[in-house]
Amino acid sequence: MLRMRGEIVHALRDLFAELAFVEIETPALQVSPGNEIHLQAFGTDLAHADRRDRRYLRTSPEFACKKLIAAGERRIVEFRAGLSEWRALGAAPSRIHDARMVSRQ
């Protein structure tokens, strides 16, 4: 099963590369928790020697992808292993948390 999954992901990566998609990795930590008032983001403090910076685990990868599209990227794909979003509250039980993102314009 794991081998088959690996072969499928490899084939998909090859396909998207042939179609001139750019593979991206959007960050898990972000400065803002986002504008979705129905979701609560997990927060953490990054400790430096002289200060702490507040960061939030993303509640969805779409926001980072949309920023790339707004900046001019037209064909992006993201393969992310594990959880792609973290929500303290607001996640529906039917939501798929291990998702793959594709965008084309």
Residue 101 clears pLDDT 60, i.e. is over it: no
Longest CA pairwise span in the chain (Å): 49
- Higher per-residue pLDDT: 66 or 84: 66
Average pLDDT of 12-21? 94
Average pLDDT of 48-57? 88
Residue 69 clears pLDDT 70, i.e. is over it: yes
- Higher per-residue pLDDT: 100 or 24: 24
Helical spans, DSSP H, in 19-93: 62-70
Residue 3 clears pLDDT 90, i.e. is over it: yes
What is the model's pLDDT at position 72?
94
Please answer whether residues 74 and 105 qualify as being in contact, where contact means their C-beta atoms are separated by less than 8 angstroms: yes
pLDDT level of residue 104 (50, 70, 90 thresholds): low
- Read off φ and ψ for residue 102, nearest 5 degrees: -135, 135
